[in-house]
Chains A and B, each alone.
Chain A
């Protein structure tokens, strides 16, 4: 009996001391950047002893939690509109870049061999193009022999940043797609089958003859899937790669974007991959708990500076240097505590 009691007391004490050392940074939101945030957090903890408690509950949940002030920062794959930011007293900034890649399963077509453009992909996902030997696809691929297989479009059924980027790209390149379907984390696809998560889409695509799907770049690369090349806004055919994602982020007009409200799809630039996206962080401009926001900013600054190689290992793309310095300037000018800037640049 006594031993049990003693153990109980010990347990309570241990859990209390754990709670006390919770100077840890807390955040919640997008699932897409979770692997890299987790990797950074691990390295940062080893370095500083400060941990990051990030719940990857989805962008919608992240926005709700930061608005309810239960976390220090929220993370979203979709930037909030400037009005929404103003009314809630939040600011947002991009943290990491990723890309979405169309993948196909056509007999005799290997990775990078098929070339498509936004209007054609949109027509496929609206059910207007139903066979791989359609004239529109043949015209883009004069050298490829395409079979008459029926096209089976596969989409992400779970609400996700990937869906948002893909549908936003199709909306920008096809007026019909924009008016009939539009861009969101989930949209009403008129044809095709929905699979859950990147793994579901990848599996469905590799399993079904004649399928087309879209997955995050890291997923396509690690599984050696047959990705397609795309025509970008400048009219060039580009292949998905870290360079082409970074090109899209670098040529985008960040300076002219209000509150970083900028969606990186279909950006100008000769080398830009057209379905690129940034994942955003949300914090309060005048936080109640200034100390913990300061800790979070320190973590982000460290990740910008020393986290790039870790990001590359996981096939994420770090922000271009000019954008990083612009973000840090925003911290200094906009995040305040008691009327004074919170971020000192260290």
Chain B
């Protein structure tokens, strides 16, 4: 039905049967309104939940924060017997394990994504793609148990002794690889985290690389560029935003991961110069101790840890947003 006659019909309404029934129109209008307010409520609900989490964390953490003040984040001590709590060791563990995970997972994920979109023979594309997605579906407890029973013994027997022998005396980085090879510790936690965040990073980057218009790539090839040149001069610049986004998604997940880390980090509230030594993270400390924590200051300190994690994750997301905006502005200027 063409547009103009449609309007005529409804306006005159004498010889042509009205196409839009007014009652139907009113119904549609109400439905539109209900739909609108339903989606609005859903959106506001997110804000309310986030606000509620922040407020209840603050309230729960208040006794500890007002008691220890700034010392809560500058002290390494975590002694439930004397009720002295400082969050430096868990903060350190959270940041360092996530950094190790990023160091391993970002280049690997980048490689997987590039291979899948640019270099992979079509026959392999689907199996590898599905494998990446399946890896993302493995529950974290499985990674934890696998890390403890399979990965840790391998690291303890083969990898860590090698690291200690060959890197332990290298100046500047040697102290990172000293101490007895326990198999579990900061490094193992970082490796397990890397495996866990890898599929997220790889999948996001692959999807972004897929959005690069084929025309651009083909123009590159047409001008005689090699695959390497096309990747670095066309694909990567075009998907910068997505690369940052994928990395941040992985980082966010690594910071908050609880179960798998708890199994393999060694759970010691200590800051050690060696990556082979046991440590702890914010979320694993909470998971370990919250159930049996007795005493207001103790539980409040654990909630304060949760608040810190909330703030750290929030900062990471805010930084990512700022970075994305800057990137967008720059690419906008170029275009």
Give A residues with C-beta under 8 Å from B: 31, 57-61, 63, 78, 150, 152, 157-161, 181-189, 192-196, 200, 203-204, 207-208
Contact = CB atoms under 8 A, between A and B. Distances in A.
7 contacts: A60-B294, A157-B267, A159-B291, A159-B293, A187-B80, A188-B269, A196-B263
A204 B152 CA distance: 10
B267 A63 contact: no
Interface in B118-173: 148-149, 152-153, 156
B182 A193 contact: yes
Contacts of B117: none
B278 A183 contact: no
Interface of B: 77-82, 148-149, 152-153, 156, 180, 182-185, 262-263, 266-269, 278, 280, 284, 287-294, 299
A300 B222 CA distance: 84
Contact of A159 (B82, B152, B180, B292): B292
Given A63-B294, A158-B289, 12 more contacts: A157-B262, A159-B292, A160-B292, A182-B81, A185-B294, A187-B81, A188-B77, A192-B278, A194-B268, A195-B184, A196-B263, A207-B156
Contact of B148 (A157, A159, A182, A200): A200
A63 B299 CA distance: 13
Chain B: interface secondary structure?
loop
A194 B80 contact: no
A155 to B, nearest CB: 8
A189 B262 contact: no
B292 A207 contact: no
Nearest to A161: B292
A59 B153 CA distance: 33
Nearest to A209: B156
A78 B294 contact: yes
Given A204-B184, A208-B156, A157 B78 contact: no
A57 B294 contact: no
A195 B81 contact: no
A13 to B, nearest CB: 29
Chain A: interface secondary structure?
loop
Contacts of A195: 148, 184, 266-267
B123 to A, nearest CB: 41
A104 B10 CA distance: 90
B80 A188 contact: yes
Contacts of B294: 59-60, 63, 78, 185
A182 B291 CA distance: 20
Nearest to B269: A188
A82 to B, nearest CB: 16
Contacts of A160: 292
Contacts of A60: 290-294, 299
A150 B181 CA distance: 11
Contacts of A189: 268
Contacts of B299: 60
A45 B44 CA distance: 46
A184 B80 contact: yes
A152 B288 contact: no
B45 to A, nearest CB: 25
B262 A196 contact: yes
Contacts of A150: 180
Contact of B289 (A152, A161, A186): A186
A158 B78 CA distance: 14
B249 to A, nearest CB: 27
Contact of B267 (A152, A185, A193, A207): A193
Contacts of B79: 182, 187-188
Contacts of A185: 80, 292-294
A25 B292 CA distance: 23
Contact of B185 (A59, A188, A193): A193
Q: Which 3 A-B pairs have the closest CB atoms?
A: A58-B291, A159-B292, A194-B267
B149 to A, nearest CB: 7
Contacts of B293: 60, 159, 185-186
B291 A61 contact: yes
Nearest to B144: A196
B267 A196 contact: yes
A208 B153 CA distance: 9
Contacts of A203: 148-149
A187 B298 CA distance: 12
A157 B288 contact: yes
A170 B152 CA distance: 30
Contact of B278 (A187, A188, A193, A200): A193
Most buried by B among A57, A157, A158, A208: A157
A196 B180 CA distance: 20
A193 B292 contact: no
Nearest to B259: A196
A193 B184 contact: yes
